[in-house]
Chain A
Amino acid sequence: QVKLQESGPGLVKPSGTLSLTCSVSGGSISKSVWWNWVRQPPGKGLEWLGEIAHNGRTNYNPSLQSRVTISVDKSKNQFSLKLASVTAADTAMYYCARAPDATVTLIPFFDLWGQGILVTVSS
Chain B
Amino acid sequence: SSELTQDPSVSVALGRTVRITCQGDSLRKYYASWYLQKPGQAPILVIYGKNNRPSGIPDRFSGSSSGNTASLTITGAQAEDEADYYCNSRDNSGNHRLFGGGTKLTVL
Interface residues of A (CB under 8 A from B): 36, 38, 45-48, 51, 59-62, 95, 99, 102-103, 105-111, 113-116
Interface centre among B2, B30, B97 (most CB of A within 10 A): B97
B4 to chain A, nearest CB (A): 10
Some 7 contacts from A to B, beta carbons below 8 A apart, are A45-B101, A102-B90, A107-B31, A107-B49, A110-B88, A111-B45, A111-B54
Question: Could you say which residues of chain A place their CB within 8 Å of the CB of B29?
Answer: 106
Report the tally of A-B residue pairs with Cβ distances under 8 A. 71
Interface residues of B (CB under 8 A from A): 2, 29-31, 33, 35, 37, 42-45, 48-49, 52, 54, 84, 86, 88-90, 94-102
Question: Could you say which residues of chain A place their CB within 8 Å of the CB of B96?
Answer: 48, 59-62
Task: Report yes or no: A108 in contact with B42, Cβ–Cβ below 8 A.
Answer: no
Question: Could you say which residues of chain A place their CB within 8 Å of the CB of B30?
Answer: 102, 106-108
4 more contacts with CB within 8 A, not counting A114-B42, A115-B42, are A46-B88, A48-B96, A109-B33, A113-B42
* Cα A47 to Cα B30 with chains together (Å): 18
B14 to chain A, nearest CB (A): 26
